[in-house]
Structure 1
Amino acid sequence: MSWAADWIEQTKLWVRGVEGGKAGKGESEQRPLAQRLEATLRRGQEALSPRELRRLLEDLQQVADAALSDVEGGRHAQALMEWYAKAPLPERKDFWTLIVEQFGPDAQALQAARQQYDQAGSDAERSEAEMRLRRALLSSRTRLLQRFAQPQGGMRFLVDMRAQLLSLPRAEQRYVALDAELEHLFSSWFDVALLELRRLSWDSPASLLEKLIQYEAVHDIRSWADLKNRLDSDRRCYGFFHPRMPDVPLIFVEVALLDKLAGSIAPLLDESAAAVDIAKANTAIFYSISNTQTGLKGVSFGDSLIKHVVETLTQEFPRLKHFATLSPIPGLRGWLAKQGDAVLQELDDKQKAALEKAAGGLDAAHLLAALEDPASLKDKSPVRQAALFCAARYLGRETAKGRPLDAVARFHLGNGARVERLNWAADLSSKGLKQSMGLMVNYLYDLKRLDRHRSLLAQGKIPVSSEIESLCKG
């Protein structure tokens, strides 16, 4: 798809900002922005008075003024950033509304450019229409946001602002144009070519180590001793950093160097366990990958992080031959509760009878109740076998719009991995039991088959190992 076609899709969001959005629930007492700007007195629940609103608009216009240099525009942006830091949420919403409704592209010019592109009858006409569309999409809002990125801390300001936008209830749709434009800009500003891969170790600054503890999203870091264990000699931790946010890892991955595929998270988090002899390590296990910035949602660099880490590891440890994950299955229990009854009906008659006897019923509710203590279930337990069957089906068969249902599966399979092995009682923490009855999964990155696996996924077929395929058949 061409840039023009991509942008046509984006304008469905951006033009809403030009035309003005409907007020969400809880905002009905506010007058339209245009009326507030022309009024004299504040009314109802309006955060800023008309006079304050006009002053804020003038300040924003100074930031976006094309006659000013980026340095001067950035100076005005810095002053607004200081105001914003102290402003309560209702005043910030006025700030966002002004950006959306007063600084968007010209709706009529944009519509005309889109119509010209749709009606283009030749390659030459289409190219000319695409250029016109590009020009029509340029707006003072883009320049405004670029100016906010100029001062020290400006990039972090914009990322945090989008994080707050994303935290709003879905009913508040009036800021969707601002969100869309920020995501578009971030996709360029946080291009992987501009990021730096850095290894994080126990010798890293304490302020950076504190951020690892703060942002770890898969397995909570309980203490400094826990963190030190994760940074031991048989471990590696890497993060992507942006030059304008040098003290914050945008995403980081924790790696364990082993001599076999990991089947449980407990040994990896055991602070008393002896370090593995890395001279004998042949397997790198990615056991935690954490995105740290909610405001960068939709900006993907996880795939590149894994590629860079694999390249870095193989340079340091030429003996490494296998690259895999030990991953949670966060959506499994919820899916099983909703779809389990139908899936269990696909067991054969003998399996159904055994499960009904062991669990007290042939449905998802009885199965889940019987899985409260997965570590106590033996290999041949009908409950355990049924749970593995369902988990294999969930990871190896279930899709929505051609994509795997599970969020973690979507990430790794989209990067070219395959579903390799299910691990029983692999995470007996309260979180692991709540999400997936203690089950975890290995996704294998076979470096010679990444493209093949991506191709299969594009066809709606989830790449799985023979072991998973066998479990899917019951």
Structure 2
Amino acid sequence: MKKFSQWVSSIAEAGREFLPRRNRQDKKQTLSSLCHELCTSKGEAMGTAIAHEVVKAYQALNDTEQLEFFNMLYREFSPEPKQILECAEAFKQNTTMETYRALYHAVEAPRHRLFSRINMAPKGTATLIKMRLQLLSLLDKQPHLAGIDYDLKHLMISWFNRGFLTLEKISWRTPAQTLEKLIAYEAVHEMSGWDDLRRRLADDRRCFAFFHPALDDEPLIFVEVALVKGMAGNVQELLADPDTDDVAAANGNGNGNGHHSEFDTAIFYSISNCQEGLRGISFGNFLIKQVVLELRSEFPQLKQFATLSPIPGFRRWLKQEIDNPESPLLEGEEREHLQLLDTPNWHDDPTCCELLQPLLTRLCAHYLYTAKKGQKPLDPVARFHLGNGARIARLNWLGDTSANGLRQSCGLLVNYGYELKHVEENHEAFVNEGQINIAPEFQKLLK
């Protein structure tokens, strides 16, 4: 991957010899004029060198100057409505390739060309990702900039399609620079340092990541996998160090640590997107399906592929139901029981758990299966896996008793099962009809 960035840098360096003379004549050249010049330059070396100057100039901007830059893009690099209407009328009157081409170019924002040219520069792709991240943070208060985000996202979907991505297995032999990024980017189950990472790269674990050639050793997304016997239901057991923790060790309770021949299940327990500037561009569906192929090749005996997933929206949804006196899901006594959730360390109290377990598992099953955002599940993780063709397999009581697990889902975790022969069928039913496939064990919770 570094060869690609080195090649781009060599082109930029070749064009730099043309820049000093021009800059001496115009030392006050603005970022705006650089952008306009970049859009009109024809030579590859010169264009790449100017793109490099744009990247350096943008990276030097403070927050106020970044907003000014985005407003400049809005004013000076938006499509011209009058030209669009004229070209549309010409196309309507005379439908030819020439009028179609004119309409196409009129509709396409000039900033499309600008972003594509910036992408030619060394670090250009990374700069555009950071640019979009900064832009996303402004949209609530600057909604007129949404068109710029639309254009950037449209281009990035093309630049980061599956054909350009490489899947790499992460191991203890992976360069330390990349391993450090895995620790930093872990978004589901935080790693406290190198010891945690070493456990997650142990012999009964696998980690895979997608990379893009323009980003060197910067991962886009990575998935952590545990090889276990039977379905895993508790993430603390799954992450436990087998040398210091004797909880359910290697006895078929789904926490791994066994011999390769004993593994029959692959558990995807953490999927982390690494680039916030690529928000809304999905890699996870490709990643899971390709990792399944890799694991089946390495371990033909694997019979099950499933996740051990968080339920990030459950506690928030539950609060809304509690606050709604008309909620048909709760009766008076149940509301009283739910007040136990405010008791410190309630999950360590057998009496509290006895009262809460049947109630919370029923409500959580209802949340996952019936709570909607439009036509799709309200829970974002459910939307992702069900859209990939998984089914809801099982709810796990106190599957995550970390502070975050208790805060977001009352400690509940869910297994989404990937039954390979039904994945495409489930995907089509979900996308076209909103149908959710569920296992019989989960079905019982809905009654």
Conserved? CA contact 1:330–1:408, under 8 Å: yes
- The reply to whether residue 337 of structure 1 matches residue 311 of structure 2 is no
What is the DSSP-based 3-state SS (H/G/I as helix, E as strand, rest coil) of the residue aligned with 2:335?
A: coil
Matched ranges for 1:5-404 at <5 A = 55-65=30-40, 67-113=41-87, 131-168=101-138, 170-273=140-243, 275-340=257-322, 345-346=328-329, 356=333, 362=335, 366=339, 368-369=341-342, 373-377=346-350, 381-404=354-377
Compute the displacement of 1:324 (Å).
0.3
Compute the displacement of 1:470 (Å).
1.2
- The reply to whether residue 417 of structure 1 matches residue 387 of structure 2 is no
- Normalising by structure 1, report the TM-score: 0.80
What is the DSSP-based 3-state SS (H/G/I as helix, E as strand, rest coil) of the residue aligned with 1:266?
A: helix
Deviation by residue 1:339-366 (Cα, 9 ceiling, x = unmatched): 245797447xxxx58xx2xxxx636852
Alignment CA distance shift 1:468-1:101 (3 Å): same
Deviation by residue 1:406-449 (Cα, 9 ceiling, x = unmatched): 01111111101111100011111100010011111000011111
Higher mean C-alpha deviation, range 93-102 or range 406-415: 93-102
Alignment CA distance shift 1:380-1:425 (3 Å): closer
Compute the displacement of 1:136 (Å).
2.2
* Counterpart Cα distance in 2 of 1:262 and 1:422: 11
Compute the displacement of 1:80 (Å).
2.2
Compute the displacement of 1:53 (Å).
9.4
Deviation by residue 1:302-339 (Cα, 9 ceiling, x = unmatched): 10011110011111111111100000111000000002
What is the DSSP-based 3-state SS (H/G/I as helix, E as strand, rest coil) of the residue aligned with 1:221?
A: coil
* Counterpart Cα distance in 2 of 1:472 and 1:129: 58
Alignment CA distance shift 1:114-1:416 (3 Å): farther
Counterpart in 2 of 1:20?
none
* Counterpart Cα distance in 1 of 2:201 and 2:326: 42
Compute the displacement of 1:370 (Å).
6.2
What is the DSSP-based 3-state SS (H/G/I as helix, E as strand, rest coil) of the residue aligned with 2:168?
A: strand
- The reply to whether residue 430 of structure 1 matches residue 430 of structure 2 is no
Counterpart in 1 of 2:443?
469
Conserved? CA contact 2:396–2:413, under 8 Å: yes
Conserved? CA contact 1:225–1:271, under 8 Å: no
Higher mean C-alpha deviation, range 336-345 or range 67-76: 336-345
Matched ranges for 1:439-454 at <5 A = 439-454=412-427
Aligned residues: 408
Alignment CA distance shift 1:111-1:378 (3 Å): farther
* Counterpart Cα distance in 2 of 1:342 and 1:412: 32
Higher mean C-alpha deviation, range 125-134 or range 214-223: 125-134
Partner AA of 1:269 in structure 2? L
Partner AA of 2:377 in structure 1? P
Alignment CA distance shift 1:198-1:391 (3 Å): same
Alignment CA distance shift 1:52-1:115 (3 Å): farther
Compute the displacement of 1:68 (Å).
2.1
* Counterpart Cα distance in 1 of 2:416 and 2:404: 20
What is the DSSP-based 3-state SS (H/G/I as helix, E as strand, rest coil) of the residue aligned with 1:197?
A: strand
* Counterpart Cα distance in 1 of 2:52 and 2:43: 14
Alignment CA distance shift 1:229-1:409 (3 Å): same
Conserved? CA contact 1:396–1:468, under 8 Å: no
CA RMSD of aligned residues (A): 2.7
Compute the displacement of 1:81 (Å).
1.7
Alignment CA distance shift 1:101-1:309 (3 Å): same
What is the DSSP-based 3-state SS (H/G/I as helix, E as strand, rest coil) of the residue aligned with 1:426?
A: coil
* Counterpart Cα distance in 1 of 2:194 and 2:308: 23
* Counterpart Cα distance in 2 of 1:133 and 1:339: 51
Alignment CA distance shift 1:100-1:452 (3 Å): same
Conserved? CA contact 2:168–2:208, under 8 Å: yes
Alignment CA distance shift 1:114-1:447 (3 Å): farther
Compute the displacement of 1:299 (Å).
1.1
* Counterpart Cα distance in 1 of 2:265 and 2:398: 21
- Normalising by structure 2, report the TM-score: 0.84
Could you tell me which runs of 5 or more consecutive residues in structure 1 were left unpaired when the two chains were aligned: 1-50
Partner AA of 2:339 in structure 1? H
Could you tell me which runs of 5 or more consecutive residues in structure 2 were left unpaired when the two chains were aligned: 1-25, 244-248, 250-256
Partner AA of 1:256 in structure 2? A
* Counterpart Cα distance in 2 of 1:95 and 1:53: 16
* Counterpart Cα distance in 2 of 1:388 and 1:195: 39
Conserved? CA contact 1:397–1:462, under 8 Å: no
What is the DSSP-based 3-state SS (H/G/I as helix, E as strand, rest coil) of the residue aligned with 2:241?
A: coil
Compute the displacement of 1:373 (Å).
1.7
* Counterpart Cα distance in 2 of 1:89 and 1:149: 22
Alignment CA distance shift 1:234-1:258 (3 Å): same
* Counterpart Cα distance in 2 of 1:126 and 1:388: 62
* Counterpart Cα distance in 2 of 1:217 and 1:280: 30
Deviation by residue 1:238-257 (Cα, 9 ceiling, x = unmatched): 00000001211100000000
Counterpart in 2 of 1:14?
none
